Amino acid sequence: MKFPASVLASVFLFIAETTAALYLSSTYQSGGDRNWQTLTLLFSLMPCVLVQLTLLLVHRDLSRDRPLVLLLHLLQLGPLFRCFEVFCIYCQSGHTEEPYVSITKKRQMPKNGLSEEIEKEVGQAEGKLFTHRSAFSRASVIQAFLGSAPQLTLQLYISVLQQKVQVGRCIFMALSLLSIVYGALRCNILAIKIKYDEYEVKVKPLAYVCIFLWRSFEIATRVIVLVLFTSVLKSWVVLVILVNFFSFFLYPWILFWFSGSPFPENIEKAFSRVGTTIALCFLTLLYAGINMFCWSAVQLKLDNPELISKSQNWYRLLIYYMLRFIENSILLLLWYFFKTDIYMYVCAPLMILQLLIGYCAAILFMLIFYQFFHPCKKLFSTSVSESFQAWLGCICWACRQEKSSESVGKTEVKSSTYQDETPSSSKMSPDPTQTLSVDDTCSA
């Protein structure tokens, strides 16, 4: 049985970030910054409440008679209690023999074109640990993109305005960035396990390192670009955020409306139609929050009973990163043209170049992950390098076609001009036979 390290990491980030937020809000209160204190507490307490609700809904404790658990969640101590429960199950799992086990069938990664199917016994303790891991993974994603991401943006914006970075705020920003990267990493692992559910997926440590670097560069550059743009054009940033948010929020609903599928009602048996609608809206809200800062590896599909698409859409991934790179470039150019005196001692062209290189580094680590470290790369129809070569071949073929069409056009123009010139020359110079005949008649 695996050690529940993901549960420990989720609880550590939850406690550390909440404690740092409370400390920083107290410093804002002592300094008389009421607005910063209110926003810091808002972005800290809102994900705390959502995390408690997520843990309750996954474990279905609302329909059980467990008043102590409900009280602990009301006191915001639910993650600590769940972590204690996880380690109690883990420590007792090897000492008692379980009378009831279930058998699961998984296929191994193909070797030499062959894939074997293996059976594995799963006891009650391992099943409970799997439920706890799933609950904490979802809670980490919610905390990352509905709390840590706006919190990091706010604290970096305050540091830019005040032109100084306190030690407590620096530690808080580092914890927030770590929480966002961890939430994005959990999204990647969740997408892999959903798409290849019938296979036994094993993620290697180098794959975790590559995903961590990919997400770190992507999220850090995105947050810095938004903060720089906000510091010079405060009113226009609202338009940028609303366009991004509603684009990703409405996109799954538009696809669902065009599909003509019936309304999904099998999410939870205890939910009514109104409750199902609220749950789907919250899910699309989380989806939009993820895509505001980075690529969400999990794609929503509301007409699917599982609500998640299992197909890997490479074109959507390519379009997302192209549009995001263009958007970041435009925001940086606007910041460059409208920057104020607070950036007097900042080399703006160098900063723009560093941010664009950082985003390109994120894309590079993403390609390295899919080419070398993806746990299911043997199941890909085409690899990243083959797709890149095919893309270059298409571009070269298009360039050759364009050059050939231009050369054909030039030859046609030359031939037409030559044809236009030959009749005129014939009119200017008469036929020599005709001149000789006229001379002969004159002599006669």
pLDDT in tens, 130-174: 888 888 888 999 999 999 999 999 999 999 988 888 888 999 999
CB 303 within 8 A of CB 263: no
Q: How are the residues of the chain apportioned to helix, strand and coil, as percentages rounded to the nearest 5?
A: 75, 5, 20
Q: What's the chain's average pLDDT?
A: 82
Q: 3-state DSSP call for residue 57?
A: helix
Q: Is the pLDDT of residue 53 over 50?
A: yes
pLDDT in tens, 64-79: 777 888 888 888 888 8
Q: Is the pLDDT of residue 360 over 90?
A: yes
Query: In the prediction, which pLDDT does 420 show?
Result: 53
Query: In the prediction, which pLDDT does 297 show?
Result: 84
For the residues 4-21, what does the mean pLDDT come to? 91
CB 81 within 8 A of CB 55: no
Tokens of 121: 């016994």
254-259: long-range pairs with CB below 8 Å, 24+? 255/301, 255/302, 255/303, 256/302, 256/303, 259/303
Q: What whole-number percentage of the chain has pLDDT above 70?
A: 82
Q: 3-state DSSP call for residue 347?
A: coil
Query: In the prediction, which pLDDT does 271 show?
Result: 67
Rounded Cα distance between 366 and 145, Å, is 20
For the residues 256-260, what does the mean pLDDT come to? 83
266's CB contacts (< 8 A; 6+ apart) are 305
For the residues 223-227, what does the mean pLDDT come to? 95
Q: Concatenated DSSP letters for 245-278?
A: HHHHHHHHHHHHHHHTPPPP--S-TT--HHHHHH
pLDDT level of residue 430 (50, 70, 90 thresholds): very low
Q: Is 262 or 436 the better-scoring residue by pLDDT?
A: 262
Range from 16-30, 68-82, 98-112, 396-410 carrying the lowest mean pLDDT: 98-112
Closest alpha carbon to 190 in 5, 385, 379, 6:
6
Query: In the prediction, which pLDDT does 411 show?
Result: 62
Tokens of 139: 């809670």
Neighbouring C-beta atoms of residue 57, cutoff 10 Å: 16
Range from 145-149, 188-192, 432-436 carrying the lowest mean pLDDT: 432-436
pLDDT level of residue 206 (50, 70, 90 thresholds): very high
pLDDT in tens, 285-314: 999 999 999 998 888 888 777 778 777 677
Query: In the prediction, which pLDDT does 443 show?
Result: 42
Listed in sequence order, the DSSP H helices in 196-232 are 205-232
- Give the CA distances from residue 28 to residues 19, 21, 23, 146, 157, in Å, rounded to whole numbers and listed in that order: 14, 10, 9, 22, 14
Q: Is 427 or 18 the better-scoring residue by pLDDT?
A: 18
Provide the Cα torsion 153, 155, 161, 162; round to 10°: -170
Length of the chain: 444
Tokens of 218: 């992507």
Range from 31-40, 109-118, 191-200 carrying the lowest mean pLDDT: 109-118
End-to-end CA distance of the chain: 124
Q: Is 96 or 3 the better-scoring residue by pLDDT?
A: 3
Rounded Cα distance between 277 and 11, Å, is 30
Q: Is the pLDDT of residue 359 over 90?
A: yes
Q: Most confidently modeled of 12-16, 200-204, 393-397, 398-402?
A: 12-16
61's CB contacts (< 8 A; 6+ apart) are 69, 70, 73
Query: In the prediction, which pLDDT does 432 show?
Result: 39
Q: Tell me, what DSSP letter sits at residue 110?
A: P
pLDDT in tens, 375-425: 887 777 666 666 667 767 787 887 887 777 766 655 655 555 555 544 444
Tokens of 250: 């409405």
Q: What whole-number percentage of the chain has pLDDT above 90?
A: 34
pLDDT level of residue 282 (50, 70, 90 thresholds): confident
